[in-house]
Amino acid sequence: MAETQSNEMLHEEYWDLTYVSGPLVFLKNGGRFPTGAILDVHMRTGEKRQGQILEATSDHAVLQLLQGTTGVDVEGTSVSLSADAARIACSEDIIGRRFNGTGKPIDGLPPVVPEVELEINGSAINPVSRDKPSDFIETGVSAIDGFNTLVRGQKLPIFLGSGLPGNELANLIVQNAGTKSDDTPFVVVFGAMGITAREAQYFLRSFDEGGKGARVVAFLNQADDPAIERLFAPRCALTVGEYLAFEKGYQVLVILTDMTNYCEALRQISSAREEIPGRRGYPGYMYTDLSTIYERAGRIRGKEGSLTQIPMLTMPDDDITHPIPDLTGYITEGQIVLSRPLHRQGIFPPVDLLPCLSRLMNNGIGEGATRADHREWANQLYAAYAQGQNIKKLMAIVGEDALTELDRKYLNFANQFERDMLGQGFQRRTIDETLDAGWKMLGLLPREELTRINKDTIDRYYCDIMEDGNRSPYMGN
């Protein structure tokens, strides 16, 4: 009986549109449609568009149009139910494909033949079934692998300012990321929101030229696409990622850029719905909305696959206290921060190491994962770099002549650390190469300054750097 009523609704048209506001259309008698339902919008010109029900009550329904409301006339437009929820076709054949923000192919190939069609809204992983994030994911970026290690099931955002090379860093991670501990197949799902046509071409070309395009599933929402589509893109990407991770056993890395564009679209929709604004005009429920995206990362007990997330966002005015990075920081497990001063020095990637953090780093490093000396190595380098940065500030006040010989060593260390350790360029570094490069940096300091590393580890790896730049022959194995 219920199925008969549903079939009748699919073919019935309704003409009771009331008014249009921005990307939204308002209808009477909203109780006919479930929240999240997809409606076909039939225009007087014969054009058909699609929209999703954002809100439905007995009195009214709010419909967001995916193709925008330009040209929509409430007098000559009707709607009909297309599906009870937004869904995406999922199959292993989706790997290597390119789609727009709503899951329609843009690579010239036919639509995916689905094994299953899944609702894109999904849900956060049940805490009871969550497994502890663990196991190292190698990104090929020393500043991440060495000091802010990414582990399977983690959500680790990247914060950047406008104009900083976030796209280039994202592409570097796409090309080089992989697992180190086993041979489980690895897939990258890339979701872009509000990018320019030039950026879209950059990503598509880079995926293909880098040789790793066959393992990348890409969802690209461009700046001239409807803002509503930006709300769909990350959910399509995560739904595909969940299917590959938890149904097919892949290790999946989902990269989402730029979450600031997503939040701007959320604010635009909220304004069109005439909702009471929160901080800086963003809706009060933005924290909850972001959590429905970020909390879909993780591992499930008994499942071989995992879903790891790297959301990227632009901080307006380089302000890390802005609502978007602020709320993101509450939900996720650390942050990678890009530095404008380092970028001006020509250092890539310009990672500002001191405010960076990976709260789950200890779950993915050490003997059997990276190397036994990794934790002590990171602690010592971080402390030495912080000391060098403090001496830079001191020198700005008292002048270089007032520095001690040890101060000069730390100052030299900080400069070389930025240039040679952080500034790896576009070349991939394995974790072993990163650790070896770090020990070379520590050789710039006297042995007695390595107070955060035990003696046996120092005896094994330390070689001091002499004044002529050569390494001392009497230490290290």
**Terminal-residue alpha carbon distance, the chain:** 78
| CA 51/CA 80 separation, integer angstroms | 10
Which is higher by pLDDT, 227 or 215? 215
pLDDT reading at 197 higher than 80: yes
| CA 177/CA 277 separation, integer angstroms | 39
Domain boundaries along the sequence of the chain: 2-85, 88-363, 374-461
Do 2-85 and 88-363 fold alike per CATH?
no
Sign of CA dihedral 389, 393, 396, 402: negative
Work out the average pLDDT over 425-430: 94
pLDDT value at residue 477 = 40
Q: Where are the alpha helices (DSSP H) in 321-373?
A: 323-331, 340-344
Cα-to-chain-centroid distance, residue 171: 12
Work out the average pLDDT over 29-42: 86
pLDDT reading at 352 higher than 70: yes
Q: For the domain with range 2-85, which CATH number is right: 1.10.287.70, 2.40.30.20, 3.40.50.1970, 3.30.2010.10?
A: 2.40.30.20
Instruction: With both helix axes pointing from N to C terminus, report the angle between 259-272 and 227-242 in degrees, rounded to the nearest 10.
Output: 130
Confidence of residue 1 (pLDDT cuts 50, 70, 90): very low
pLDDT value at residue 336 = 98
> What is the pTM (predicted TM-score) of this model?
0.91
Question: In Å, what is the CA distance from 295 to each residue of 121, 125, 358?
Answer: 12, 7, 16
Work out the average pLDDT over 361-382: 95
pLDDT reading at 339 higher than 60: yes
pLDDT reading at 474 higher than 80: no
Sign of CA dihedral 358, 363, 368, 372: positive
Cβ pair 131, 365 in contact under 8 A:
no
CATH number for the domain running over 88-363: 3.40.50.12240
Share of the chain above pLDDT 70, in %: 94
pLDDT tens for each residue of 62-83: 998 887 788 888 888 889 888 8
pLDDT reading at 119 higher than 90: yes
